Structures are given as structure tokens and as C-alpha cells.
């Protein structure tokens, strides 16, 4: 593989950062489905916001905005840490670690998509 | 408290129309993209530049479709889901939620896909092609599912 296609990060580093971002994001999405993570909630009728996981004000509420925001923050933090680590160490991920990361990210995405479809298919309102 | 106080209530139908038109652009670009990307697996590298152009068009249209959908969402949540789907068509509420969650996950896939598209040379970077093809196929499937389910849902009730 070629090195240094960009001035700041090598191609392999950018690849690892991108793969970790989507894998961590999908995993975080799954976590918000099974664990009551504190999120931002929107109340469309009141046009107001609340933050938390329990003891929230009653009413029609929407958690999707907060969920997407939470996953974006978590994925950015983790892939940012990986980017900083790669930059500071001036090394690339070993090929075996990269293969594991690829596999973990793809599995995470597939499982999150499957879990959501399955849980919605059986959800009683 | 009435539903007319919901954010951009009066703009519900124009926003839905814009969301649909952007989704059609997205569907077209990503369908063409996946048809060019999958053959990378057996060494067919035709129209690489065009494939990367589809990624850029797809990303911009995904982002715009996502934003317009997010803006129109409160209107749907009350006037369609709370007043109708949750009472009469539970499967429709659940189908919409699959659509919204898959779109949320697709956002991260597209960010990663755009980044990879900018750095990968398909002919030389063979070890990276597996994830690249995976992202293209996953995004195409999410987009096709979302467009079909969205059209099905508005055929029952819309904002």
C-alpha cells in the first residue's frame, strides 16, 4: 500500500480512523438501545428539550436526535483518540490489528442494523 | 397545547416533498455507485472517477435528505404517529422507527465511506476494498429500504 497520500495522516491511518468511526458509532447506537444512557430528548408539542435517562418530564418525546448526537460524539472521541495515538506513535496499525478492526466494525454495523429491525418487529406499542 | 404549534407545522408538505426529491437523487447516485463498486471485488475497475463522483453526490444528498427529514420529524411524530399510527397501525410506527434508526446508522457509514473514497485507489489498495465494498452495499441497502418504506408509509398517512 502507498504511504502518505495526505500531508497529515497516512492513507493507512485515515483508513483505520474511518473504519473505527463507523464501527464505534454502530456499537454506541446498539448500546443506547439496551442501556438507559442519558440522552437529549425533544418535546415537539412544548418545543422544549430535556436531558437524562429517567425522571424526565412527561409528555410526547423524541429521543432520536439525542441518540444520533450521542453516537456522533462517542465515535468522534474514540476515532479522535485513535488518530492521536497513531500520530504520536508515528506508526501504523499492524495488518493483523487492522483486519480485526475491519471485522469488528463490519460486525458491529450488521448487528446494530439487525438488532434494531428485530426489536422493532416485535415491539408492542 | 395543539399540534399547530409544532416546529414548521405549516411547512410539513413542502418539506416532505423536498425530502422525497432528495431521496430520489440519493437513491440514483448510490445505486449507480454500488454497481461500479461491487465489480472491484473481481478486479473490474471501470469508471473509478465516476464512482467517486457518485460518492460525493450521494453524501451531499444523504446529508440534505437527513437534515430535511430531521426538521420535518416533529410534525410526523405528532400528526401521523401519535394521532394515527400508534392507535391504528402499530406496524407502521415500527417500520418508521426501523427507517429512522437505519438512517441514523447510515450517517456514520457515509462519513466513513466518503473519507475512504477520498484516500483509496481501488486498483492498488486491494486490502482496503473489503470494507469499501461493504460500506457501499450497506448504504445502498439502507437507502433502498428507507425509500420503499417511506413511500409505503406515506401511502397510508403523511404530514
Instruction: Give the closest of B86, B100, B142 to A64, CB-based.
Output: B100
| pLDDT one digit per residue (tens) for chain A, 125 residues | 555 444 688 999 999 999 999 999 999 999 999 999 999 999 999 999 999 998 899 999 999 999 999 999 999 999 999 999 999 998 888 999 999 999 999 999 999 999 999 999 988 87
Res B116: pLDDT: 97
Give CA angle at B79 (B76, B84), nearest 5°. Answer: 105
Chain B partners within 8 Å of A121 (Cβ): 94
Question: Per-residue pLDDT tens for B18-51?
Answer: 999 999 999 999 999 999 999 999 999 999 999 9
Instruction: Give the closest of A29, A110, A124 to B104, CB-based.
Output: A29
Chain B partners within 8 Å of A71 (Cβ): 104, 108
Res A124: pLDDT: 84
3-state secondary structure chain B: CCHHHCCCHHHHHHHHHHHHHHHHHHHHHHHHHHHHHHHHHHCCCCCHHHHHHHHHHHHHHHHHHHHHHHHHHHHHHHHHHHHHHHHHCHHHHHHHHHHHHHHHHHHHHHHHHHHHHHHCCCCCCHHHHHHHHHHHHHHHHHHHHHHHHHHHHHHHCCC
Amino acid at each position: 500500500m502507498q504511504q502518505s497520500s495526505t500531508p497529515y495522516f497516512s492513507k493507512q491511518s485515515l483508513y483505520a480512523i474511518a473504519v473505527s468511526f463507523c464501527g464505534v458509532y454502530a456499537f454506541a447506537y446498539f448500546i443506547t438501545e439496551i442501556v438507559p444512557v442519558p440522552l437529549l430528548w425533544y418535546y415537539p408539542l412544548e418545543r422544549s428539550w430535556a436531558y437524562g435517562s429517567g425522571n424526565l418530564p412527561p409528555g410526547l418525546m423524541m429521543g432520536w436526535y439525542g441518540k444520533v448526537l450521542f453516537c456522533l460524539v462517542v465515535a468522534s472521541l474514540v476515532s479522535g483518540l485513535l488518530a492521536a495515538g497513531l500520530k504520536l506513535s508515528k506508526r501504523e496499525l499492524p495488518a493483523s490489528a487492522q483486519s480485526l478492526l475491519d471485522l469488528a466494525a463490519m460486525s458491529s454495523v450488521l448487528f446494530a442494523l439487525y438488532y434494531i429491525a428485530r426489536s422493532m418487529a416485535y415491539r408492542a406499542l | 397545547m395543539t399540534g399547530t404549534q409544532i416546529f414548521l407545522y405549516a411547512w410539513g408538505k413542502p418539506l416532505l416533498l423536498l425530502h422525497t426529491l432528495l431521496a430520489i437523487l440519493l437513491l440514483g447516485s448510490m445505486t449507480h455507485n454500488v454497481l461500479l463498486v461491487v465489480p472491484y471485488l473481481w478486479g473490474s475497475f471501470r469508471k473509478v472517477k465516476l464512482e467517486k463522483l457518485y460518492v460525493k453526490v450521494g453524501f451531499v444528498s444523504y446529508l440534505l435528505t437527513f437534515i430535511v427529514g430531521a426538521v420535518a420529524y416533529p410534525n410526523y411524530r405528532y400528526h401521523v404517529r401519535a394521532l394515527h399510527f400508534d392507535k391504528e397501525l402499530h406496524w407502521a410506527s415500527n417500520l418508521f422507527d426501523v427507517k429512522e434508526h437505519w438512517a441514523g446508522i447510515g450517517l456514520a457509514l457515509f462519513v466513513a465511506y466518503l473519507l475512504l473514497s477520498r484516500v483509496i485507489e481501488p486498483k492498488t489498495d486491494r486490502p482496503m476494498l473489503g470494507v469499501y465494498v461493504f460500506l457501499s452495499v450497506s448504504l445502498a441497502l439502507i437507502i433502498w429500504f428507507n425509500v420503499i418504506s417511506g413511500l409505503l408509509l406515506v401511502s397510508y398517512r403523511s404530514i
